[in-house]
A = this chain, B = another copy of it.
Amino acid sequence: MAGGPEDKRRLILDAAVRVFAREGYHDARVGDISKEAGVAYGLVYHYFTSKEAVLEAVFRETWGLMLTAIRGVEERGGPAPDQLRRVCAIVLRSWRDDPDLVRVLVREVARSPQIQREIDEIEQAFAALERIVERGQEEGTFTRDLSARMVALMLYGALEEILTGWVMSQLPDDDDAVAEAERTIVALFAQGLCR
């Protein structure tokens, strides 16, 4: 099993993340991926039906993990603002955990023509955020004046833009900055700007 087929698949997938992060999906050649993985060109097609399928697998597997983590927050329960904070922490910390992966997701998937916004999967992330906001409204912590769906969208956009800022190095991204981003987004969405 140590040399089983799944290993090569993972090898290719991990290599693809590095290559896509380095070159971008469009400029990345399938040959670059096989080379980076140390396998033959054709093997990529043994495990994936196309170059796009490789990107899709990267997205699907990562996104699945993220959704699971978010659902974990929901199940653990607690006050809505706390849940929001924990979700933001998960999303923002992913940058420290695997910058290449975040780079690929932000640049190629978030709004890409390839994988035109795996609507379904991304919708589930919105839905989770929306549920948390709704729960806050029901428990009376959050105002009912704002549409939970729209707030969820804006929260998602704010998080994505912070990650993008890091990917594009428009924003410092040391540990302090990551912690500050967490603090800022929670404070902003909870209390707003006005003093």
Contacts and interface: CB of A to CB of B under 8 A. Distances in A.
B171 A162 contact: no
Interface string A122-158: 0100100000010010001111011101110111111
A24 interface: yes
Given A107-B113, A123-B170, A181-B150, A195 B24 contact: no
Interface string A20-46: 000011110000000000000000000
Instruction: Please tell me the size bucket of the interface on A.
Output: 35 or more
Given A161-B160, A168-B117, A193-B189, A184 B141 contact: no
Interface string A35-72: 00000000000000000000000000000000000000
A151 B113 contact: no
Interface of A: 24-27, 81, 106-108, 110-114, 117, 119, 123, 126, 133, 136, 140-143, 145-147, 149-151, 153-162, 164-165, 168, 170-171, 180-181, 184-185, 187-195
Given A153-B165, A189-B193, 20 more contacts: A24-B113, A26-B26, A27-B113, A111-B111, A117-B168, A119-B168, A141-B194, A143-B194, A145-B187, A146-B193, A150-B162, A150-B181, A150-B184, A151-B184, A151-B188, A153-B162, A154-B184, A154-B188, A157-B157, A160-B161
